[in-house]
Amino acid sequence: MTIPATARARRDELVVHIERARTAYYQHDKPEISDAEYDALFNELTQLENKYPELVTADSPTQSVGGEVGETFGEFTHPSKMWSLDNVFSEEELRAWLTRVGDHEFLCELKIDGLAINAVYRNGELETLATRGSGAVGENVISNVSYMTCVPQKLKPIKGQAFPELLEVRGEVYFSLADFDLINLEVTAVGRTAFANPRNAAAGTLRQRMDKRVESLATSKTDSSREKRDEELTRAGNALGRLGLIVHGIGVHEGLDLKAQSHAYELLRQWGLPTSSRVRVVKSVQGVLDYIEEFGRLRHELEHDIDGVVVKVDSLDEQRELGFTARAPRWAIAYKYPPTVVRTKLIDIAVQVGRTGRVTPRASVEPVMVAGSTVSYATLHNPFEVARKGVRIGDMVFLRKAGDVIPEILGPVVELRDGSEREFIMPTHCPECGSSLAPEKESDADIRCPNTRSCPAQLRGRLEHLGSRAVLDIEGLGEKAARALLEDKVIDDEGDLFSLTADQLATSDFFVKGASRELAENAKLLLTQLEIAKSKPLWRVISALSMRHVGPPTAQAIARAFPDMSALRVATESELATVEGIGQTIAASIVEWFAEPWHCAVVDKWAKAGVRMVDEIVDAGPQILAGLTVVVTGTLEGFSREGASEAITSRGGKAASSVSKNTDFVVVGPGAGSKAAKAEELGRPILDEAGFVVLLEQGPQAAHAYLDK
């Protein structure tokens, strides 16, 4: 087959781009393009080479792992090669791989966004710690290991078993998301580019020559330079100490007879190495898909970032049969979730005024797809954050969107600046009402518009909040309706809301049908929904008042302790502070709120309009699970995960997420993984769904009787 010149040219172009990205990424720990862009380039090259196999050369990026060694550490040739994994990006591609490898038991594990390392143990003692590098040769970072708490220097002996003479342990060092944010704040505080993801932060942290730093400290000539170096050394040491490790493989293992990947993990765990509790061996394709679906849902609740799931054929014999391609094993695949970090251009920063008057800079960015939706705006939290992150208008930035939270800017790509970027200047006056902006207290990081009563932005924000699902759930009261109600002067503030009439609504163009001035559907919907909202539980009403620090969970705690608004109104700070779920800050905020006459007027108007002000006391039901800890795992037909938890807690029990010897019952549904195994291992009573219902309805004794049957 003749290869078109355009294909050849595109191939060359792709190789240049990929190599450049790899250099920036691996050598400098500073990516210039996002993971998703890299994956797209790599994918395009792979497809091109698949179509025209003659284009494949030995030095093609598809034939190597990437990540040649840097200059700072000594080289280390891994006793056995550290492979890279092939990626798939869709269920379809994954199914194609599963079909290709055939029937097996599969081990599924999370692909942590960290840095691959190889730890070599000789007779149980750590000899070398190295980065993956090119896969054949990495960097020996053993001199840093004394600062790292996550890598054991000695393995724990297993009874009746000698340590393997030589053991290579593969794993991932990583930062938790909390530590990643911390590290980025430190980095940007000194004017450097933020790390794009936890993996780069881990790489940047691990690849610091601590021994050189100690040396330079000893030779510093002046007190001030010594102090500065000492500070830097401490910071670097602390950062290394915050690294975590999860091990996920074994290379050379002399004197060990291993049957399966999962068997290896069990040994690693017993030797005291950190393995993941989320590893699961599944017997079917459906099991693999379920695992991927489950963690796709949970990924934003984990303590660390993951970018996918790794699926491995569990049996080592079967692994050997399948073998390797030039760059990756055939018996493993990485399924990648849609990326959560992308690179885009920061077009402008404007300020927004929230419902509590808080002024936040909001970045508008070039629209970009991230985690399944198009993002055009991102938050920068407060003006200090803009300065701390060092972002300028016009910068290329890394942006992260995790779950349902508002996308945030991680930091600029300083290397790509061309001089046209400009600093953001915080306005001194409210863009909506012209009031002078200031922090409420000198120590506050937040700047506020003090015009709480009539600043249009705050009023609008409060109305929208009140209508939202988590509060009074008033369909028809969204951003547009709130704006129309205020701009057309249908209401002065939220106090007038529940006494709204059809005639009043008809004065606003937004709520009528064109020239006929007949009431539109949205107006009828709003009136019905307002009527329904009036009888919703008191905690929702409290939540709707937009007191500072009082979100729905706090409002629930308040309503439990004060099921009557008139009692809450006169409650003192000390009375409030003793309630569980309310602290000093919230107590003060509530008292302060009721001290404002126009706030009380709002409550009075609502009461007059028939909004609920007193909760009937509902009997919580017999607490038949008091003192019991119950774990639910797998899927149940009659209960959602939350529903099962609620059923336990409403009966006085504790719904726990992990199994221990203190677990009283483990409820196991289809698709349950390691927790079920753990329960068996610890001999905890295991109930099926029917047994769970018995437990909920008749208590622990009946559940034990059910098990004995």
| Residues acting as catalytic residues | 111
566, two tokens: 């008139």
- Residue closer to Zn ion by CB (options 316, 433) is 433
User: Is residue 654 within 8 Å of 631, Cβ to Cβ?
Assistant: no
Q: Of the candidates 34, 134, 451, 522, which one interacts with Zn ion according to CB under 5 A?
A: 451
Q: Which is nearer to Zn ion, 423 or 440 (CB)?
A: 440
DSSP state of 27: I
The token pair at 571 is: 């409650």
What distance in Å separates the CA atoms of residue 490 and residue 492, rounded to the nearest whole number? 7
Quote the CA–CA distance of 204 and 180 in Å, as a whole number: 12
Shortest distance, CB of residue 649 to Zn ion, whole angstroms? Answer: 42
Nearest approach, Cβ of residue 469 and Zn ion (Å): 26
- Considering only residues 409, 455, 530, 571, which one is a binding residue for Zn ion as defined by CB under 5 A? 455
Q: Which is nearer to Zn ion, 368 or 455 (CB)?
A: 455
Q: What whole-number distance in Å separates Cα of residue 387 and Cα of residue 246?
A: 35
Q: Please, are residues 354 and 406 in contact by the beta-carbon 8 Å criterion?
A: no
Q: How far is the CB of 482 from Zn ion (least distance, A)?
A: 15
Cβ 480 to Zn ion shortest distance, Å: 20
Residue 356 beta carbon to Zn ion: minimum distance, rounded to whole angstroms = 12
Residue type, 364: S
Nearest CA to 327 out of 78, 11, 82 is that of 82
Q: Under the phi-then-psi rule, with left for phi > 0, alpha for psi from -120 to 50, and beta for the rest, what region is 489?
A: left
Q: How far is the CB of 351 from Zn ion (least distance, A)?
A: 10
Q: Buried b / exposed e across 128-157, counting CB within 10 Å, b at 16+?
A: bbbbbbbbebbbbbbebbebbebbbeebee
Residue 587 tokens, joined: 């107590």
CB 188 within 8 A of CB 194: yes
Residue closer to Zn ion by CB (options 433, 607) is 433
When the beta carbons of 433 and 506 are compared against Zn ion, the nearer one is 433
Closer CB to Zn ion, 132 or 599, in the complex:
599
- Residue showing tokens 């399948």: 322
Question: Residue 432 or 496: which CB sits closer to Zn ion?
Answer: 432
DSSP classification of residue 274: -
Sign of CA dihedral 205, 209, 214, 220: negative
Smallest separation, CB 279 to Zn ion (Å): 53
Q: Which is nearer to Zn ion, 340 or 458 (CB)?
A: 458
Terminal alpha carbon distance of the chain = 71
- Interacting residues with Zn ion between 678 and 697 (CB under 5 A): none
Query: Which neighbouring-strand residues pair with 174?
Result: 244
Tell me the C-alpha to C-alpha distance, in Å, between residue 528 and each of 461, 495, 522, 524, 531: 22, 18, 10, 6, 5
Stretch that binds Zn ion, among 77-85, 181-189, 412-420, 445-453 (CB under 5 A): 445-453
The dihedral through the CA atoms of 247, 250, 256, 259 has a sign that is positive
What is the phi/psi pair of residue 10, to 5°?
-65, -40
Does 656 sit near Zn ion (CB under 5 A)?
Answer: no
Beta strands in 260-357, from DSSP E residues, in sequence order: 280-282, 306-313, 332-336, 341-353
Nearer to Zn ion (CB atom), residue 359 or residue 587: 359
Minimum CB separation of residue 355 from Zn ion in Å reads 11
Computed from CA positions of residues 302, 308, 310, 311, in that sequence, does the dihedral angle turn out positive or negative?
positive
Rounded CA gap, 335 and 337, in Å? Answer: 7
Q: Which is nearer to Zn ion, 486 or 667 (CB)?
A: 486
What counts of helices (H) and strands (E) characterise the chain?
25, 23
Q: With CB under 5 A as the contact rule, which of the stretches 114-122, 123-131, 283-291, 441-449 interacts with Zn ion? A: 441-449
> Of 4, 96, 124, whose CA–CA distance to 54 is shortest?
4
Cβ 353 to Zn ion shortest distance, Å: 5
Residue 494 token pair: 């939220």
User: Smallest distance from the beta carbon of 591 to Zn ion, in angstroms?
Assistant: 25
According to the 3-state scheme, what is the secondary structure of 52-100?
CHHHCCCCCHHHCCCCCCCCCCEEEECCCCCCCCCEECCHHHHHHHHHH
Binding mask 600-619 for Zn ion (x = CB under 5 A): --------------------
Kindly tell me which of 212 and 453 has the beta carbon lying closer to Zn ion: 453
Residues 6 or more apart whose CB falls under 8 angstroms from that of 446 comprise 358, 359, 382, 439, 440
Q: How far is the CB of 461 from Zn ion (least distance, A)?
A: 10
Closest to 610 (Cα-Cα) out of 504, 701, 545, 535: 535
Cα–Cα dist 100/651, whole Å: 49
Give the type of residue at 691. Answer: G
Contact positions with Zn ion (CB under 5 A) in 419-438 = 430, 432-433, 435
Q: Which is nearer to Zn ion, 325 or 436 (CB)?
A: 436
Q: From CA 617, how far away is CA 564, in angstroms rounded?
A: 10
Count of residues that interact with Zn ion, criterion CB under 5 A: 7
Compute the C-alpha angle 316/317/322, nearest 5°. Answer: 95
Nearest approach, Cβ of residue 493 and Zn ion (Å):
14
Distance between CA atoms of 89 and 283, rounded to whole angstroms? 22
Nearest distance from C-beta of residue 510 to Zn ion, angstroms = 22
Residue 449 or 655 with smaller CB distance to Zn ion = 449
Q: Are 14 and 44 in contact (CB under 8 A)?
A: yes
Applying CB under 5 A, the residues found at the interface with Zn ion are 430, 432-433, 435, 449, 451, 455
